[in-house]
Amino acid sequence: MTNSTQAEPPALAAATAMFIEVLVVGIGTLAAAVLLFIALIGPANTSKLAPAADSSLIAGVALAAAYALGILIDRAADTILAPRRRRLRIHHFPSDGVYAQARLRLADNPIQAARADYARSRMRICRGWILNVIALTLTADLAMLRYTFDDRALILCVTTLLGAVTSFGFYRAWSALTETGYRKLAQQTALLTSPAVPSQPDPSATLT
């Protein structure tokens, strides 16, 4: 007898993937928050607090904070990019209802649905890291302004330029993945709903 309380593997895999996505995004946001904190308290206080970062309690709190921040930054990025996402989607689906029906039809094909989920996972990570890189660049620049070292101006310029290029790269990747996802969804659902071609009778069978 099958244990009905046991989680189905596809559902468990989807939940695990979602947790990892949020955590990957949240770690970047947490790093930006730490850099901002360093910029605010300065070098002297940072040196005093550094030993406390080695405790297991801080590690647990950091993991929970990263997950919570990942949820927030993912929602923020989704809201900011919503107009661009709608423009990409309308090329393949004229309305939200048509898109929702396509998603439902795709769910009937587990293999294609799993591939679509993987593509959306990459898209969400790129989406979150657009904002993460911007935040990391700004907070890294602020933190470096609190320290005195050689070639600081040059390093600030390089960091800012690298951050801008990287953030734009994530945006381009997100845009390409999103457009490709909509295009493939339209193609796959069209194949799933297209009527089968009836078989033609064998002409030789009618000959006597």
pLDDT digits (tens, 9 = 90+) for 106-155: 777 777 778 888 888 999 999 999 999 999 999 999 999 998 888 999 99
pLDDT digits (tens, 9 = 90+) for 164-183: 999 999 999 999 999 999 99
Polymer length in residues for the chain: 208
pTM of the predicted model, to two decimals?
0.81
Domain limits, the chain = 12-46+53-191
**Choice between 45 and 36, residue whose per-residue pLDDT is larger:** 36
- How many CA within 13 A on the CB side of residue 208? 0
Q: How many CB atoms lie within 10 A of CB 58?
A: 12
Residues 186/103, Cβ–Cβ less than 8 Å: no
Of 135, 36, 20, 19, give the one whose Cα is nearest residue 77: 135
